[in-house]
Structure 1
């Protein structure tokens, strides 16, 4: 009867263990997926909030690589390696307690060898963190070459430079390969050193334990128990030393991500003005501007520019290439801030208006037509998703696009 009860209890425990393991794995994987998507979305949002000058200085391919590749590498490494590191660290503590209960002398000898063993992962972990940051930077540069090539494919084809772009991309990949070889050598050396030091520690413990048994300080049974505990303890130490550099590597790969998250946009805060009616009287008064932010005479694009755009009239800015015509429009859109002078809209400083309000009042037809990889309707209603069908058709007719849009499939 007792045997049947014991078997039933054992089966129940096994079933509960399997169910709990399933639930824990499910919750863990869902949580880590949620963290990954949240971090990726947060980085994307943080980058979008930056000033236009930030995008001028940061290549598109590099930004995409940071948001996608870096966040994915960081979340994968931290979700798997960090959890294992914490688990083995807890196991390390419990085993140390059991070893201490068997023999404090041999435990002391074990602990004396730990600082030597821990020096290796600390040094390799620092190296992995440094090399990982360089690897991610190299990958970002390679992605930038690919992004530029695909986005300017007509230019590449017109100059018959496919082989040149292929060679440039190959050189970037070779740089990454060289860094990964250094990383592989460091990992192999670290693993070998860890194995040798733990083996030396085991030999010392067996020798010292045999001496204690001969002296009668510990029994042979206690020595066997201690050795069994020490074997598991050594495996826990090896696991900690193996996963610690991986966690440091993930930290190195995530440095740029958190740099984006912590970066504050270098632009003045949005104003508060949002009048119901706007006449559109624009005035530039002694405006000086330089894309580099410098105020030296030779770096200025606009030098004491003053002009007036009156409502209800057509005003044309005429000048040579790079004379600052497009720059005036960019300043009016508040993409950049002038180094000196001021821009007035209806007699009020431009920076006193709310950014979203200002961009709703200004319509710009640029020299290059930009189309997103979306439907025609989504392109027309970009920034105005609640537009009615009639408003969409009217906009298409005003742009002389309604006819050929009607001929498109679907």
Structure 2
């Protein structure tokens, strides 16, 4: 590509002097070969680097996502969802483009700049020295432009992200917006966000326009000076017309390459920040290790909390559990009861290994739970929460979630035990019905029954129900409890507020303020006349015991 201006000058000199057909054909042939070679190499280089960029982007995003899903739950509670998605999309793309595209352009421009300087010196050292007066001005203008423009580009992106976030919140909470009749206010707020974005884009475009005006004036002024001095060199026979044309072509390419070098350097420096953010997550290790290796053929399912104390990562100064000890026996239904915020759900979260306790240990069949192999351990546990999460899949795929092979007969059996088969069969597409985003096509009770079926189909040794029947009617709840009580090989832990749900449990553990205050059967706790008894007495006096909630 760098030879094209040189041979263009040769052709002009041949045409402006005594015509030599052979020399003309040779010059034209060289121009054709260099042009073809330049086009082919540019296409191959561009295609190779684009392929490299997309492959690198895919690989980095895959590795980043794989590492993110291995992090402990506390990481997701402390990190905003927008930051995580930004790392996965914007920062990985910027990093990949920097390595593949920016480095490619930077190296190409650097090589071309050195080659152009060589040709320019060979054509006219006087004009080359004169040209260097343009470079400092070009660099200064480009640096100022990069400084302000990049900041405005970032501000525009942040502004767009804020308006998108607001729109997402309004759409997801449209029921609340409608119930408070704030549609107009939300529309005005969204318009304000869009106006901020519009103002930032206007500033960005003004900066771009000023940059282009300044750059074109400097470029035109230098070309006028070059032409004037070049005419002098031709007049004094120090230079031919063809060489002057070749030099001006090189000078234009040189200015473009210098600007590209400055811009690419700024882009690469900017990309370093994105790369640091990506590698910060790539190198992060979970505070809840999942490197256990223990796999046993026969798991009984006895669980023991031994002097467990725990504080949430977002609230390290507040102890959620304080020296908690209790046991769950195989074949028994154990109920955790107590006031909201007492620590019941925290016990479930620790047993699921969402967090790591600060002191104490949790044993499964006498072995610390962190010693068990991660996938094996969680295949032995089944959890159904108060607000179960369903994915935008069919009902059958949601029930089979996480299982590599799952026959329809097993799905139907699990749905029957969860009292879900009847309503599923009434749907037009049955088990193939799409539940919608987050299960939005189903009611709260239907989602809970699907979640219970999803837990039961795995045939877990330990089944945890954290307010799992709170959205069900009494008849459905009774049916599910009967189905669960028939399996005497499971360890069942129930977290509930309804007294009717827990009074038939084999053991009731009362937790208040992060401590176990009482445990025993329903009649034993009533005879002790402690916290459990006082609460029931209070509810009984208010005439609420049949529907009472802790």
Shift of 1:237: 3.5
Question: Which protein has greater RCO, CA pairs closer than 8 Å, 6+ apart?
Answer: 1
Q: Are the structure 2 counterparts of residues 47 and 132 from structure 1 closer, same or farther at C-alpha, using a change threshold of 3 Å? A: farther
CA deviation after TM superposition for structure 1 residue 209, in Å = 4.6
List runs of 5+ in structure 2 lacking aligned partners.
1-21, 430-550
Of Structure 1 and Structure 2, the greater helix share is in 1
Q: Out of 213, 219, 242, which is 2:239 matched to?
A: 219
SS at match of 2:383: coil
Task: Give the equivalent residue in structure 1 for 2:400.
Answer: 381
User: How many correspondences in the alignment?
Assistant: 401
Aligned to 2:131: 110
Structure 1's unaligned 5+ residue stretches are none
CA–CA distance in structure 2, aligned partners of residues 235 and 70 of structure 1? 28
The residue that corresponds to 2:320 in the other structure is: 301
1:248-327 to 2 correspondences below 5 Å: 256-292=277-313, 295-296=316-317, 299-327=318-346
Q: What is the rounded CA distance, in whole Å, between the counterparts of 2:77 and 2:154 in structure 1?
A: 23
Q: C-alpha distance in 2, partners of 1:18/1:362?
A: 62
SS in 2 for 1:315: strand
**Greater displacement, 225-234 / 249-258:** 249-258
The answer as to 2:73 corresponding to 1:42 is no
1:371 aligned partner? 390
Change (3 A) 1:135 1:56: farther
Cα gap change, 1:382 to 1:365, in 2 (>3 Å):
same
Verify the 8 A CA contact 2:305 2:362 in the aligned structure 1: yes
CA contact (8 A) 2:287 2:356 kept: no
Report how far residue 227 of structure 1 moved.
2.7
CA distance 1:151–1:384, change in 2 (3 Å): farther
Aligned to 1:363, what secondary structure does the other structure show? strand
CA–CA distance in structure 1, aligned partners of residues 274 and 210 of structure 2: 21
Give 1:333's aligned residue.
352
Contact persistence 1:381–1:387 (CA under 8 A): yes
Deviations 1:203-236 (A, max 9, x none): 454455566567x583353444423322332344
Match of 2:81 among 54, 60, 63: 60
CA contact (8 A) 1:125 1:248 kept: no
2:253 is equivalent to residue 232 of structure 1: yes
Counterpart of 1:184 in structure 2 is: 205
Contact 2:53–2:101, Cα closer than 8 Å, also in 1: no
Q: Could you list the per-position Cα deviations for residues 53-86 of structure 1 after superposition, in whole angstroms to 9, with x for gaps in the alignment?
A: 2221233355345534555677678877765555
Partner of 2:367: 348
Distance 2:198 2:95 in 1: 20
Counterpart of 1:360 in structure 2 is: 379
Secondary structure of the residue aligned to 1:356 is helix
How far apart, in 1, do the equivalents of 2:191 and 2:137 lie?
42
CA distance in structure 2 between the partners assigned to 1:164 and 1:177 by the alignment: 20
Instruction: Supply the distance in 2 between the matched residues of 1:148 and 1:387 (Cα, whole angstroms).
Output: 37
Q: Which shows bigger deviation, 391-400 or 260-269?
A: 260-269
Counterpart for residue 101 of structure 1: 122
Q: Which has the higher strand share?
A: 2
Q: Secondary structure, in 3 states, of the residue corresponding to 1:390?
A: helix
The SS at the match of 1:329 is helix
- The CA deviation at 1:105 is 3.1
3-state secondary structure, aligned to 1:277: coil
- Separation in 2 of the partners of 1:259 and 1:207? 56
| CA 307–181 in structure 1, closer or farther in 2 if over 3 Å, else same | farther
Q: 1:197 to 1:307 in 2, by over 3 A?
A: farther
Distance apart, 1:333 and its partner CA:
0.7
1:51 maps to 72
Rg (Cα) greater in structure: 2
For the 8 Å contact 2:308–2:359, the answer to whether it is kept is: yes
Question: Could you tell me how far apart the structure 2 residues matched to 1:295 and 1:247 are?
Answer: 39
The Cα shift of 1:31 comes to: 4.9
The TM-score, its normalising length taken from structure 1, stands at: 0.79
Indicate if the aligned counterparts of 1:281 and 1:311 stay in contact, CA closer than 8 A.
Answer: yes
Question: Which deviates the most, 43-52 or 171-180?
Answer: 171-180
CA drift of 1:48 comes to 2.0
